[in-house]
C-alpha cells in the first residue's frame, strides 16, 4: 500500500502544479480516477462474488442491454452463477438469482435487507430530505412513518374489505361494458384495462373514479406511463450516477420533465381537495394525508408535507397500475394462445357462478382451476423480472460469498418464477403447477411475483383482488381470440371479441 500512497501523493503534486495547464490537469484527473478505481478493487475480500471485470468510470454498464436487461442478467447467471457482482459507475452491486439463493439471503438475514440505495439524481425529482416518497426511499424514520400511514389508510378505505371488493367489481362491470361496445371488431384491450385498473387507485387516492374519456385522467395516465418507461429503461444509469451528473444533459433531464408534468396534475387534484375537504371526515388518502400535515405543523423533520404527498401518489400510482394491468393483459393473451384452457376456465365459471351474478372473492374457493390459471399467468407474465434494489447495511453472507456493507442488491425474481429446480415445466404455460393430484389449488413456495422482505408490495392484496375479479368477469362474458387471417406473431395488439354464446 505504500507504493499506492506514494502514487497518490505524486498525483496530488502534479495537480497542484498544472492548474493552469488544462490538458495536463485532465490527464492527472483521469490517472487519479484510474488509481482510485484500482485501489477500490484491491480492497475487495476474497469472498467478493464473481462477476465481469468492470471498466474504469462506467463499470459494467455496457454489458446491459437497455432494451432487454433481463436477458443480460440471464447470460451473466449462466457464466458466473446465482450470486453476481457488478459495478455501475463507482457503485458496487450484486444480483441474486434462483429461489434457494434469494430465500437464503432474505429469509436468514431479513434485517439486513430493509434499506434502499441512495439515488442522488432523484433530488432532481424533488425527493430530498423528508420527501423521499415510499418506493425508493431509504429506510429512515420518514419511510417507516409513511409505510405505517399508507398501510393503515388503505385498510381504512377498504383494502381487504367488502367495500373495496364491491368497488373493484363495479369497475369490472364498466370494463365489460367497454369491451362489449367493441364486439365484432378487432381492438387493442391494453388501453381499457390500464384505465380500469388505474381507476381503482383513483378511488382510494382521489375519492372517486374517472370516466374513461376524462381528459385529466387520460393525461395523468399518459405522463405516468412515459415516466415509468424512462425510469425502468435508465434505472442502472440513474443508480450509478453521482449528483454531479445533474449538471450535464442525459436521460435524467427527460425524467425531470415527465415528473414535472405528473406533479402539475396531482397538485391540481390536491388543491381541489383542500378547498372541499372536511377535516372531520376524510374521503380518501389525500384527505387523510392533509390531516396529518395539519398535525405536523411546527415539526420541520416530519415527512408529512405536500411535496412528499405528491411523491407518494406517484409511487403508488405506478406500483398500483402497471403490474396489475400488464398481468391482466398477459392473462387474456394466454387465453388466446391456449383456447383449451380458456374453455375449461369458462366451464368452471359457468358451473359455479353462472353468467348473471358477478364474481366475488369468496368464489376462489369454488374455482380451483381458475385460480391455478391466474397464478400461472402471474408466473409466466413475469411483469417484475428484477425487484427494486435493496442496500445491505452490514456485511452479509450469502452462500460462500460476503456482500459488503452498503452494497446495492437486486433480486432477479424472473429466475425464481422460472427456476428449473422448483417448477416441472418452468418455460411453459402449465396451470397444473398449482393443482394437486385431486385437482385442488395448491400454493407453491417459489411463487414470488411480489418479492419478499419488509419492502414487499403493500398493495399485494389489492393486486390479487383486481386480477381475480377482472379476469373472471371478462371470461364470464367473452371469449378471446385473434382475428381471422391475422398472424399472431405480427399483430398481438388486435383482438377479436365475440360475446359468449348462451347454452
Q: Cell for 424? A: 416441472
Q: Give the integer Cα–Cα distance in Å for 202 and 215.
A: 14
CB 335 within 8 A of CB 341: yes
Indicate the SS3 state at residue 303.
coil
Q: Cell for 474? A: 371478462
**Residues with Cβ < 8 Å from 448, sequence gap 6 or more?**
99, 102, 413, 416, 417
- First CA to last CA distance, the chain: 83
Indicate the SS3 state at residue 302.
coil
Helices assigned H by DSSP within 182-305: 190-206, 215-240, 251-276, 285-295
**Residues with Cβ < 8 Å from 52, sequence gap 6 or more?**
60, 63, 76, 80, 86
Q: Give the integer Cα–Cα distance in Å for 150 and 165.
A: 19
Q: Cell for 461? A: 392484496
Nearest-CA neighbor of 414 among 112, 116, 71? Answer: 71
> What is the Cα 92 distance to its own chain's centre?
22
Q: Cell for 46? A: 476474497
> What is the Cα 455 distance to its own chain's centre?
11
Beta bridge mates, 412: 97
Residue 3 burial (CB count, 10 A): 7
**Residues with Cβ < 8 Å from 175, sequence gap 6 or more?**
192, 193, 196, 470, 473, 474
The single residue listed with the C-alpha cell 414487499 is: 456
Q: Give the integer Cα–Cα distance in Å for 309 and 297.
A: 15
Beta bridge mates, 481: 496
Q: Cell for 238? A: 440513474
Nearest-CA neighbor of 206 among 304, 302, 316? Answer: 316
Q: Cell for 228? A: 415509468
CB 448 within 8 A of CB 416: yes
Q: Give the integer Cα–Cα distance in Å for 51 and 77.
A: 9
Residue 225 burial (CB count, 10 A): 17
- Annotation: binding site for heme: 457
Indicate the SS3 state at residue 478.
strand
Amino acid at each position: 500500500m505504500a507504493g499506492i500512497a506514494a502514487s497518490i501523493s505524486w498525483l496530488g503534486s502534479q495537480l497542484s502544479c498544472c492548474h493552469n495547464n488544462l490538458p495536463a490537469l485532465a490527464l492527472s484527473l483521469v490517472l487519479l480516477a484510474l488509481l482510485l478505481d484500482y485501489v477500490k478493487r484491491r480492497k475487495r475480500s476474497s469472498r467478493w462474488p464473481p462477476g465481469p471485470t468492470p471498466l474504469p468510470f462506467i463499470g459494467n454498464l455496457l454489458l446491459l442491454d437497455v432494451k432487454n436487461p433481463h436477458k443480460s442478467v440471464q447470460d451473466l447467471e449462466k457464466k458466473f452463477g446465482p450470486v453476481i457482482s457488478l459495478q455501475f459507475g463507482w457503485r458496487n452491486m450484486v444480483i441474486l438469482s434462483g429461489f434457494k439463493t434469494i430465500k437464503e439471503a432474505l429469509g436468514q438475514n431479513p434485517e439486513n435487507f430493509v434499506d434502499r440505495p441512495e439515488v442522488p439524481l432523484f433530488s432532481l425529482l424533488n425527493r430530498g430530505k423528508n420527501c423521499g416518497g415510499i418506493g425508493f426511499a431509504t429506510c429512515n424514520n420518514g419511510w417507516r412513518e409513511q409505510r405505517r400511514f399508507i398501510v393503515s389508510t388503505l385498510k381504512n378505505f377498504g383494502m381487504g374489505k367488502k367495500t373495496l371488493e364491491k368497488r373493484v367489481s363495479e369497475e369490472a362491470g364498466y370494463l365489460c361494458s367497454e369491451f362489449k361496445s367493441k364486439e365484432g371488431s378487432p381492438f387493442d384491450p391494453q388501453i381499457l384495462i390500464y384505465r380500469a385498473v388505474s381507476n381503482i387507485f383513483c378511488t382510494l387516492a382521489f375519492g372517486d373514479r374517472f370516466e374513461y374519456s376524462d381528459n385529466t385522467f387520460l393525461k395523468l395516465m399518459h405522463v405516468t406511463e412515459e415516466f415509468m418507461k424512462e425510469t425502468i429503461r435508465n434505472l442502472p444509469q440513474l443508480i450509478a450516477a453521482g449528483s454531479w451528473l445533474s449538471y450535464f444533459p442525459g436521460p435524467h433531464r427527460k425524467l425531470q420533465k415527465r415528473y414535472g408534468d405528473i406533479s402539475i396534475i396531482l397538485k391540481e387534484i390536491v388543491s381541489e381537495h383542500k378547498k372541499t375537504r372536511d377535516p372531520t371526515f376524510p374521503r380518501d388518502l389525500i384527505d387523510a394525508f392533509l390531516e396529518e400535515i395539519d398535525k405536523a405543523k411546527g415539526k420541520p423533520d416530519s415527512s408529512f408535507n405536500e411535496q412528499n404527498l405528491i411523491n407518494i401518489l406517484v409511487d403508488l400510482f405506478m406500483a398500483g397500475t402497471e403490474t396489475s394491468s400488464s398481468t391482466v393483459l398477459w392473462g387474456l393473451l394466454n387465453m388466446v394462445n391456449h383456447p383449451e384452457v380458456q374453455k375449461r376456465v369458462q366451464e368452471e365459471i359457468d358451473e359455479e357462478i353462472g353468467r348473471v351474478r358477478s364474481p366475488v372473492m369468496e368464489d376462489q374457493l369454488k374455482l380451483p382451476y381458475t385460480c391455478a390459471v391466474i397464478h400461472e399467468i402471474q408466473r409466466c407474465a413475469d411483469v417484475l423480472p428484477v425487484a427494486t434494489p435493496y442496500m445491505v447495511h452490514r456485511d452479509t453472507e450469502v452462500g460462500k460469498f460476503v456482500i459488503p456493507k452498503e452494497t446495492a442488491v437486486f433480486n432477479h425474481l424472473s429466475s425464481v418464477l422460472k427456476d428449473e429446480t422448483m417448477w416441472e415445466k418452468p418455460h411453459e404455460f402449465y396451470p397444473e403447477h398449482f393443482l394437486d393430484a385431486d385437482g385442488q389449488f395448491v400454493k407453491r413456495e417459489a411463487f414470488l411475483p411480489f418479492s419478499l422482505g419488509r419492502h414487499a408490495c403493500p398493495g399485494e392484496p389489492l393486486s390479487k383482488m383486481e386480477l381475480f375479479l377482472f379476469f373472471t368477469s371478462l371470461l364470464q362474458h367473452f371469449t378471446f381470440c385473434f382475428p381471422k387471417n391475422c398472424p399472431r406473431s405480427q399483430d398481438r395488439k388486435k383482438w377479436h371479441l365475440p360475446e359468449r354464446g348462451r347454452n
